[in-house]
């Protein structure tokens, strides 16, 4: 029974030259892909011959030859060749691919062989017209009594198909290179292009009859010494001499809730030595599908936080776009992304546990990015919270190790200047102090404390008196009176280290308040704005006013102080106290402009002089 | 006479020079503020991280102008997007003190540094600092080189100040001048239409409010922002309900919710007023109260002294209309006004509430 004819149904009319122009010139972003497409066709043809003939002695090969004089490049394979029907059905019909058909046929009973086939769109051959004004394809099928056929086209609506003298089984594609694709005639460039696209293909590709193939024929992870091969590959391809770590990618089982799925994954990710850190920086992957290079610098396969990571992935589940320069971001893409993230996190954790030196190098090189992202990304934070290391007064420490030494308290300083004595106090108190001068560190620590209720944060900037214990002992009254008479605010406390007789502590905004007041006094701010600034600073300094000159904390457990407290008032004792105070002032590293420094040294000099005379 | 500052010329030249030298660090330095700006509306925390990084990079590269520029943007982030005026004001004052130094004499972003300091006071206590704010606007317009956007914003502040001081006619006149200055930027136009829409809504000129809301939506979409679109739907939903068109009210409300989902910033007081009214009109006072609770939580203790008191007054009135006890809220409001320099402005309003007047009727002209 035939279907009734619908008078309203019409067929599309195709203007082939226009279509060829669009496909050839707009589908691909670079002319080099013509090489990839033709080598891939040659590769699939060899696979087809091996699958269909099952000849044990068959040795596939692909040859690429440049003829500079004739402006031609020829790609020859000893694969299955094409029959006349193949030529008409597949070669001359856009969108129909023999490889896809063969792949579908093989996929049920011979999935391994099916997985070796690359082509699927039936459009790759068109890319020849990107670089060639005329394409001459000569082919002889492995099938018995097949004639040698020559197909010739200049991208016009017509093609010629004629029988010619016999050639060996296989196919050769002769490209008459256009003037704007003359790079193809340069052996160096062509060699690089072949290596870029076909390096991992198992079939050897020879250039200009060379003795050695120009492609490695296997990915580094399949080399006899995969570790060394991978390092060599990273050096050659990514120009990274000494990666800090390499994490292998393997098949991964993904939990789908109702079922599981195994993602076939090959490749590796590596961590280059540190670069300028940035939350704007991106990690990237070079992508291969069935060993054919698809694209480089693919960012989306890596999780957003993995900006310090680069690598290679080969996965048959990835689906290329028609130009095969990009990937479809379909469900499989998401699963592969998930698989890579899981393996990356697992790998990082393993390095942190098993190779602390390598982990320290990673953290040192990429701390900014790791910490910056952990602050933003809760899941990533959970993964790295206890393995990220911090610069502390006892070297690089992870919070896990740090907290063991501090009874679940985190002591940190955020300012670089003037934090020396806070660090000293912390160390004296028997605890390491974290240098949190980089912006992401305090946020990271706060996030950690928020998520761990038993952890307490202690910021030491301007608050280091938290590490001191007040002393109520009349023994030191004389010393207190000495400083009171000189308008120096002082307190008797005990703190560690006991060798330090005293330190001067300023409120955290002291410098700013002083600077602003002096700017206001000097009329350096425009009129009404000065009023707004002045109002704010007055409010800010209200609470800190008394302490702006600093408070001198005298250590009652220091033997020198104890000795001085027992001495009667006199030149020697007074000079010693003044000297201790000036030393402490200088050691604080704060509120020291030139007159202040001069004054401190002058007073110290006077004190020393008096001591000598005494 | 006005002084012009070529802020964008500086940025463009810096970027071009970095490209020519292949200096990728400086190229990034010159572009990160754009990246932050793009993030402001839906993810202000990420925007802040980018700005922090810019600050760090400027420091590493010894680029003091850029250090100040990123500090200025951080202030913008705190004041306008993260909603922490304490940090914003602190940042603003420190930056203003920093730019007085000779090395910033020709820094083209100086006007922005001062403007965001001014903004901080507009948000903190506009009535208490009224004189200083107005004087600062005048000084900046005449004595400080300004880029076009800063000039526009100073005009916007004039309108906002008039509005706060309950001079609604004056506010509208100033807003129309602002609108005419904003042709260069869809984002600014969106803002100008929002101010005008707010004024039209409060004087119950609903046709005009809808016209402004429509323009606001269009400019919001043109500038790639969502906030104007969301407010526009809030206006349309509320006005549809006021006019008894329940079908449209719900339709616009649903659209507002859909667009709002991707916003990460705090909502403005106009939005809260609209949505509270929207719910109250449907007898859903509990939902209106929940919104006022949220509004208050967002600003409480963050340094928005004026906003905190104003929100408390709105809460008192709502509690009154709901027939609930309001003594605790009133006493908390009296406590809040202690932070203000001129509490009398609000004392009168509290007295009215104590006298049993819970209406949202406006004072002023």
For residue A590, being part of any structural domain is answered with yes
Find which of A22-36, A215-229, A529-543 is predicted with most confidence, using mean pLDDT: A215-229
Number of Cβ atoms within 10 Å of the Cβ of A120: 18
pLDDT at A94 over 80: no
Please indicate, yes or no, whether residues A85 and A184 belong to a single structural domain of this protein. Answer: yes
Please indicate, yes or no, whether residues A254 and A313 belong to a single structural domain of this protein. Answer: yes
Which of A79-93, A164-178, B89-103 comes out lowest in average pLDDT?
A79-93
Give CB contacts under 8 A, 24+ apart, made by B168-175: B168/B199, B168/B202, B168/B203, B168/B362, B168/B364, B168/B365, B169/B365, B171/B195, B171/B199, B172/B196, B172/B199, B175/B199
- Structural domain tally of chain B? 1
Q: Which residue among A466, A494, A522 closes a domain?
A: A466
CATH code for the domain in which residue B38 is found: 1.25.40.10
Tell whether A458 lies on the interface with B, counting CB pairs under 8 A: no
Residue A440: list chain B partners with CB under 8 A. 49, 52
The proportion of chain A whose per-residue pLDDT surpasses 90, expressed as a percent, equals: 27
- Local confidence band at A563 (pLDDT 50, 70, 90 cut-offs): very high
pLDDT at A107 over 60: no
CA distance to partner chain A, nearest, from residue B165 (Å): 20
Which of A117-126, A159-168, A481-490, A503-512 comes out lowest in average pLDDT?
A117-126
CA distance to partner chain B, nearest, from residue A475 (Å): 43
- Local confidence band at A177 (pLDDT 50, 70, 90 cut-offs): very high
pLDDT of residue A279: 44
Residue B49: list chain A partners with CB under 8 A. 279, 372, 375-376, 440
Tell whether A279 lies on the interface with B, counting CB pairs under 8 A: yes
pLDDT at A318 over 50: yes
pLDDT of residue B365: 61
- Local confidence band at B253 (pLDDT 50, 70, 90 cut-offs): very high
Find which of A146-150, A372-376, B173-177, B257-261 is predicted with most confidence, using mean pLDDT: B173-177
Sign of dihedral through CA atoms A361, A365, A368, A373?
negative
- Local confidence band at A74 (pLDDT 50, 70, 90 cut-offs): very high
Please indicate, yes or no, whether residues A582 and A458 belong to a single structural domain of this protein. Answer: no
The edge-to-edge listing of strands for the beta sheet with A395-398 is A395-398, A389-392, A434-435, A409-413, A456-459
Tell whether A188 lies on the interface with B, counting CB pairs under 8 A: no
For residue A544, being part of any structural domain is answered with no
pLDDT at A121 over 50: no
- Structural domain tally of chain A? 4
Question: Shortest CB distance from B132 goes to which of A515, A528, A540?
Answer: A528
| A538, closest residue in chain B (CA to CA) | B93
Please indicate, yes or no, whether residues A149 and A231 belong to a single structural domain of this protein. Answer: no
pLDDT of residue B122: 97
pLDDT of residue A61: 95
pLDDT at A100 over 70: no
The mean pLDDT of chain B is 92
- Local confidence band at A1 (pLDDT 50, 70, 90 cut-offs): very low
| B129, closest residue in chain A (CA to CA) | A532
Tell whether A522 lies on the interface with B, counting CB pairs under 8 A: no
CATH code for the domain in which residue A497 is found: 1.20.120.790
Strand partners, A245: A271
For residue A21, being part of any structural domain is answered with yes
pLDDT of residue A280: 45
Where in the sequence is the domain holding A169, given as residue range(s)?
16-207
pLDDT tens digits for range B191-242: 999 999 999 999 999 999 999 999 999 999 998 888 999 999 999 999 999 9
pLDDT of residue B279: 97
Rg, C-alpha atoms of chain B: 21
pLDDT of residue A278: 45
A516 and B49: CB-CB below 8 Å?
Answer: no
Task: Report d(CA B137, CA B120) in Å as an integer.
Answer: 13
pLDDT of residue A136: 93
Please indicate, yes or no, whether residues A30 and A166 belong to a single structural domain of this protein. Answer: yes
Under 8 Å CB pairs connecting chains A and B tally to: 80
For residue A238, being part of any structural domain is answered with yes
| A513, closest residue in chain B (CA to CA) | B94
For the CA atoms of A516, A518, A523, A525, what is the dihedral angle to 10 degrees?
Answer: -20
CA distance to partner chain B, nearest, from residue A179 (Å): 31
Please indicate, yes or no, whether residues A71 and A113 belong to a single structural domain of this protein. Answer: yes
The proportion of chain A whose per-residue pLDDT surpasses 70, expressed as a percent, equals: 85
pLDDT at A594 over 90: no
Residue B50: list chain A partners with CB under 8 A. 279-280
Residue with more model confidence, B276 or A183: B276
pLDDT of residue A423: 74
Q: Which of A368, A528, A531, A538 to mutate to test the interface with B (most CBs of B within 10 A)?
A: A528
For residue B260, being part of any structural domain is answered with no
pLDDT at A403 over 80: yes
| B138, closest residue in chain A (CA to CA) | A528
B96 and A529: CB-CB below 8 Å?
Answer: yes
pLDDT at A109 over 70: no
Helix ranges restricted to H, A315-429: 331-354, 356-376, 378-384, 399-406, 420-428
The ipTM estimated for the assembled molecules is 0.89
Q: Which of A380, A439, A536, A541 to mutate to test the interface with B (most CBs of B within 10 A)?
A: A536
For residue B352, being part of any structural domain is answered with no
For residue A316, being part of any structural domain is answered with yes
pLDDT tens digits for range A10-24: 766 666 667 666 665
Please indicate, yes or no, whether residues A47 and A120 belong to a single structural domain of this protein. Answer: yes
For residue A529, being part of any structural domain is answered with no
Which of A251-260, B141-150, B287-296 comes out lowest in average pLDDT?
A251-260
Which of A88-97, A234-243, A337-346, B124-133 comes out lowest in average pLDDT?
A88-97
pLDDT of residue A484: 92
Please indicate, yes or no, whether residues A187 and A232 belong to a single structural domain of this protein. Answer: no
Q: What average pLDDT does this structure show over B130-155?
A: 94
Please indicate, yes or no, whether residues A273 and A175 belong to a single structural domain of this protein. Answer: no
For residue A292, being part of any structural domain is answered with yes
pLDDT of residue A302: 86
Contact (CB, 8 A) for B273 and B237: no
Please indicate, yes or no, whether residues A410 and A494 belong to a single structural domain of this protein. Answer: no
Please indicate, yes or no, whether residues A180 and A228 belong to a single structural domain of this protein. Answer: no
CA distance to partner chain A, nearest, from residue B187 (Å): 25
For residue B92, being part of any structural domain is answered with yes
Residue with more model confidence, B38 or A109: B38
Please indicate, yes or no, whether residues A558 and A587 belong to a single structural domain of this protein. Answer: yes
CATH code for the domain in which residue A272 is found: 3.30.230.80
pLDDT of residue A120: 44
B49 and A440: CB-CB below 8 Å?
Answer: yes
Both tokens of residue B29?
A: 């330095």
- Local confidence band at A112 (pLDDT 50, 70, 90 cut-offs): low
pLDDT of residue A5: 53
Both tokens of residue A350?
A: 């393993």
Residue A277: list chain B partners with CB under 8 A. 53
Residue with more model confidence, A405 or A155: A405
What are the backbone dihedrals phi and psi of residue A139, each rounded to the nearest 5 degrees, phi first?
-150, 145
For residue B117, being part of any structural domain is answered with yes
pLDDT at B124 over 80: yes
Number of Cβ atoms within 10 Å of the Cβ of A533: 22
For residue A87, being part of any structural domain is answered with yes
CATH code for the domain in which residue A178 is found: 3.30.565.10
- Sequence-ordered list of residues with C-beta below 8 angstroms from that of A71, at least 6 positions apart, any chain: A176, A177, A182, A185
pLDDT of residue B115: 97
Where in the sequence is the domain holding B64, given as residue range(s)?
1-144
A276 and B57: CB-CB below 8 Å?
Answer: yes
**0.90 cut: is pTM over it?**
no
pLDDT of residue A21: 64
pLDDT of residue B283: 95
Q: Write out chain B in H/E/C secondary structure.
A: CCCECCHHHHHHHHHHHHHHHCCHHHHHHCCHHHHHHHHHCCCHHHHHHHHHHHHHHHHHCCCHHHHHHHHHHHHHHHHHHHCCHHHHHHHHHHHHHHCCCHHHCCCCCHHHHHHHHHHHHHHHCCCCCHHHHHHHHHHHHHHCCECHHHHHHHHHHHHHHHHHCCCHHHHHHHHHHHHHHCCCCHHHHHHHHHHHHHHHHHCCCHHHHHHHHHHHHHHHHHCCCCHHHHHHHHHHHHHHHHCCCHHHHHHHHHHHHHHHCCCCCCCCHHHHHHHHHHHHHCCCHHHHHHHHHHHHHHHCCCCCHHHHHHHHHHHHHHHHHHCCCCHHHHHHHHHHHHHCCCCHHHHHHHHHHHCCCCCCCCCCC
- The percent of chain A in helix, strand and coil, each rounded to the nearest 5, is 45, 20, 35
The mean pLDDT of chain A is 82
Q: What average pLDDT does this structure show over A93-99?
A: 55
Find which of A363-377, A597-611, B187-201 is predicted with most confidence, using mean pLDDT: B187-201
pLDDT at B128 over 90: yes
Residue A531: list chain B partners with CB under 8 A. 132, 135
Going by the DSSP 8-state scheme, the letter that residue A146 receives in this structure is P
Contact (CB, 8 A) for B236 and B213: yes
């Amino acid at each position: 029974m035939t279907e009734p004819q619908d008078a309203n149904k019409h067929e599309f009319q195709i203007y082939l030259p226009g279509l060829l122009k669009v496909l050839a010139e707009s589908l691909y972003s670079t002319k080099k892909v013509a090489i990839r497409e033709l080598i891939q066709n040659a590769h699939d043809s060899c696979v087809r011959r091996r699958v269909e003939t099952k000849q044990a002695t068959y040795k596939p090969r692909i040859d690429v030859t440049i003829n500079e004089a004739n402006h031609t490049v020829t790609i020859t394979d000893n694969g299955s060749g094409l029959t006349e029907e193949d030529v008409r059905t597949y070669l001359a019909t856009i969108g129909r691919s023999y490889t896809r058909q063969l792949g579908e046929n093989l996929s049920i009973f011979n999935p391994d062989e099916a997985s070796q086939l690359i082509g699927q769109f039936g459009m790759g051959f068109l890319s020849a017209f990107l670089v060639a004004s005329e394409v001459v394809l000569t082919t002889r099928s492995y099938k018995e009594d097949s004639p040698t056929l020559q197909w010739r086209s200049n991208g016009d609506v017509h093609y010629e198909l004629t029988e010619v003298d016999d050639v060996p089984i296989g196919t050769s594609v002769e490209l008459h290179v256009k003037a704007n694709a003359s790079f193809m005639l340069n052996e160096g460039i062509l060699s690089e292009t072949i290596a870029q696209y076909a390096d991992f293909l198992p079939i050897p590709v020879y250039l200009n009859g060379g003795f050695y193939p120009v492609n490695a024929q296997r990915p580094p992870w399949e080399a006899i010494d995969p570790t060394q091969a991978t390092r060599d590959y990273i050096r050659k391809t990514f120009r990274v001499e000494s990666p800090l770590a390499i994490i292998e990618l393997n098949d991964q089982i993904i939990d789908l809730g109702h079922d599981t799925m195994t993602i076939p994954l090959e490749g590796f990710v590596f961590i280059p030595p540190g670069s300028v850190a940035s939350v704007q920086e991106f990690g990237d992957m070079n992508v291969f599908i069935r060993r054919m290079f698809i694209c480089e610098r693919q960012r989306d396969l890596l999780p957003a936080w993995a900006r310090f990571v680069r690598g290679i992935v080969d996965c048959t589940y990835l689906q290329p776009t028609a130009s095969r320069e990009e990937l479809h971001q379909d469900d499989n893409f998401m699963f592969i992304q998930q698989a890579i993230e899981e393996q990356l996190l697992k790998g990082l954790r393993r390095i942190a546990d098993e190779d602390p030196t390598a982990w320290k190098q990673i953290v040192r090189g990429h701390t900014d990015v790791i910490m910056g992202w952990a602050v933003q990304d809760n899941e990533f934070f959970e993964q790295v919270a206890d393995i990220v290391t911090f610069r502390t007064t006892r070297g690089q420490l992870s919070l896990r190790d740090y907290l063991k030494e501090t009874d679940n308290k985190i002591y940190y300083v955020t300012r670089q200047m003037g934090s020396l004595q806070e660090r000293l106090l912390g160390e004296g108190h028997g605890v390491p102090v974290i240098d949190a001068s980089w912006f992401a560190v305090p946020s990271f620590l706060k996030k950690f404390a928020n998520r761990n209720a038993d952890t307490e944060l202690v910021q030491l900037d301007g608050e280091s008196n938290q590490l001191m214990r007040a002393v109520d002992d009349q023994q030191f009254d004389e010393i207190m009176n000495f400083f009171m008479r000189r308008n120096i605010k002082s307190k008797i406390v005990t703190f560690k280290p006991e060798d330090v007789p005293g330190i001067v502590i300023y409120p955290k905004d002291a410098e700013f308040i002083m600077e602003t007041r002096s700017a206001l006094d000097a009329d350096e701010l425009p009129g009404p704005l000065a009023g707004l600034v002045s109002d704010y600073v007055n409010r800010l300094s209200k609470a800190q006013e008394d302490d702006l000159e600093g408070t001198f904390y005298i250590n009652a457990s220091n033997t020198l102080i104890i000795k001085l407290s027992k001495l009667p008032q006199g030149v020697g004792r007074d000079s010693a106290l003044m000297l201790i105070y000036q030393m402490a002032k200088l050691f604080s590293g704060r509120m020291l402009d030139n007159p202040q420094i001069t004054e401190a040294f002058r007073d110290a000099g006077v004190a020393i002089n008096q001591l000598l005379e005494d | 006479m006005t002084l012009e500052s070529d802020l964008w010329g500086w940025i463009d030249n810096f970027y071009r020079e970095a490209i020519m030298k292949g200096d990728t660090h400086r190229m990034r330095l010159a572009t990160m503020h754009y990246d932050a700006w793009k993030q402001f509306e839906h993810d202000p925390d990420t925007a802040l991280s980018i700005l922090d990084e810019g600050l760090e990079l400027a420091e590493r590269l010894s680029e003091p102008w850029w250090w100040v520029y990123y500090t200025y943007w951080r202030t913008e982030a705190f004041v306008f997007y993260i909603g922490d005026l304490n940090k914003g004001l602190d940042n603003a004052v420190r930056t203003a003190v920093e730019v007085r130094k000779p090395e910033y004499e020709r820094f083209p972003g100086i006007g922005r540094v001062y403007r965001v300091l001014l903004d901080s006071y507009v948000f903190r206590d506009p009535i208490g600092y009224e004189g200083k704010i107005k004087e600062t606007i005048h000084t900046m317009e005449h004595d400080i080189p300004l880029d076009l956007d800063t000039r526009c914003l100073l005009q916007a502040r004039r309108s906002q100040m008039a509005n706060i001081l309950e001079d609604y006619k004056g506010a509208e006149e100033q807003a129309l001048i602002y609108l005419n200055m904003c042709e260069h930027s869809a984002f600014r136009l969106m803002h100008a239409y929002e101010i005008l829409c707010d004024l039209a809504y409060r004087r119950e000129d609903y046709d005009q409010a809808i016209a402004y809301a429509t323009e606001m939506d269009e400019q919001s979409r043109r500038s790639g922002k969502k906030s104007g679109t969301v407010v526009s739907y809030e206006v349309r939903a509320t006005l549809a309900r006021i006019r008894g068109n329940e079908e449209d009210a719900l339709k616009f409300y649903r659209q507002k919710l859909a667009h709002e989902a991707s916003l990460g910033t705090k909502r403005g007081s106009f939005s809260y007023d609209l949505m509270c009214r929207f719910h109250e009109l449907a007898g859903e006072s509990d939902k209106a109260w929940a919104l006022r609770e949220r509004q208050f939580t967002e600003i409480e203790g963050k340094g928005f002294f004026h906003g905190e008191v104003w929100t408390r007054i709105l809460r008192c009135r709502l509690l009154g209309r709901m027939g609930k006890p309001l003594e605790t809220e009133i006493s908390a409001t009296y406590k809040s006004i202690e932070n203000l320099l001129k509490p009398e402005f609000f004392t009168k309003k509290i007295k009215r509430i104590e006298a049993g007047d819970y209406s949202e009727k406006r004072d002023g002209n």
